[in-house]
Amino acid sequence: MTAKTQSESILAIPQPSILDEAGFDLQLLVELALKYLYVHGSQTARDLVEALCVPYTGVLERALTQAKREELVEVTGSNGIGELGYRYVLTTKGHQRAQEFLGRNGYIGPAPVPIEQYRVIVQAQSLRRVAVTPTAVRQALGRLVFSDTVLDQIGQALNSGQAIFLFGKPGNGKTALAQRVTAMYGGTVFVPYAILADSQIIRVFDRHHHHPVANQPPGDRRWVLCERPLIQVGGELTLEQLDLIYDERNRFYEAPLQLRANNGVLLIDDFGRQRVPPRAILNRWIVPLEQRIDILTLHTGKQIEVPFEGLVIFSTNLQPTDLVDEAFLRRIPNKIHLANPTVQQFAEIFRAQCEELGIPFEPQGLAYLLRTYYVGKRELRACHPRDILRVLVGAARYLGREPRLTPDLIDRACRSYFINP
């Protein structure tokens, strides 16, 4: 596999031409083919090529030849010219064998890639190889407003490739900033459908988190070229989600969150509000954060080593020192504070939100809002312009009026939005 020199840094992962290059033995491919035929019925060789994502010549043909030799499948006809058109169906013996295979491992789908190859590809796609420029940071944020200090800090942090701690009061854009980090990195990454470790299959690809690009490059189709992944979890996070998830019913593994986030971003939002103590989460990741290697445990008790190449972002509106001690904070080298916006920044956000919501911006309306509801009463928050103006639009519609920054509509919006206006 070779890395191209284009800015996208897309790898070329060649299609295996023989079974040894695929990284698994003949028996595994026979099992996958029989299980697929058991569930889906009669299939052509071309259908199996598409389903298992392996080439016919030199790979799938060997598995089908073996299955025919053992009288597990038979050819019932042909759809088209050539061997790819041969239609296969399970024999009675093949049905029994497929049931046995499903009883041991219920995975049905594309053939897995060996964990050794997975490690190589993930390392080749490491975020540490990507240079993030000030222009990329600003373009990714669009019209979001942050201080130059914050922009510089986030850019520096991304180029270090090390964990980030975003903290500050609620409503100042921590989550919005973190969600745009993948756009700051740019590019695409290869994600395998599944990996094979110690004869166990671990499903990695997840359509909820991995979004394939429209035009897939030629090569090994067991890998899917995707947008750089962003996996976001909040208060629902548990320690169980950070280890291999063994499906007792289907008898195969689902990858943990951090494995699915490799070469992308894992955002732990509302850090400190999980049912799991913050110390327990950080204890789980002490070694991975420093050594970029994670140790996962199979249900057999055997441990496997996998790369830990996702950028972890912890976001919280609590004080970091209230969550963990200095020793833990040292392991998160990038700590970025998102302060309340200045009046100038608040005005910039307010103007942009007026434009987005179709409300004519009037400086006197903003001045009335600040004078009446902020001076001596409350702190500015970056989310307030959007939230207040949305309520204002609702009030205007209710009254059958055009949304404008009039004192009465601002009053209506603020009386609804603030508990103590």
Q: Report the C-alpha gap between 98 and 293 in whole angstroms.
A: 36
CB atoms within 10 A of CB 124: 18
Give the pLDDT score at 338.
97
Write the single-letter amino acid at 267: L
Summarised one tens digit per residue, pLDDT across range 103-131 is 999 999 999 999 999 999 999 999 999 99
Q: Report the C-alpha gap between 220 and 364 in whole angstroms.
A: 62
Q: Report the C-alpha gap between 164 and 154 in whole angstroms.
A: 8
Q: Report the C-alpha gap between 10 and 260 in whole angstroms.
A: 18
Give the pLDDT score at 266.
97
CATH 3.20.10.10 fits 116-337, yes or no: no
Give me the residues of the chain with pLDDT under 50, please.
1-9
Which of helix, strand or coil describes residue 308? coil
25-109 and 116-337: identical CATH topology:
no
Residues near 420 by beta carbon (within 8 Å), at least 6 away in sequence: none
Give the pLDDT score at 260.
97
Task: Please answer whether residues 265 and 230 qualify as being in contact, where contact means their C-beta atoms are separated by less than 8 angstroms.
Answer: yes
Q: Report the C-alpha gap between 362 and 370 in whole angstroms.
A: 13
Answer CATH for 25-109 from 3.20.20.140, 3.30.930.10, 1.10.10.10, 3.40.640.10: 1.10.10.10
**Pairing mode of beta strands 164-167, 223-227:** unpaired
Domain boundaries, the chain: 25-109, 116-337, 343-417
Q: Residue 32: exposed, middle, or buried by beta-carbon count in 10 A (0-12, 13-18, 19+)?
A: buried
State the helix-helix crossing angle for 45-52 and 26-40, rounded to 10 degrees.
Answer: 110
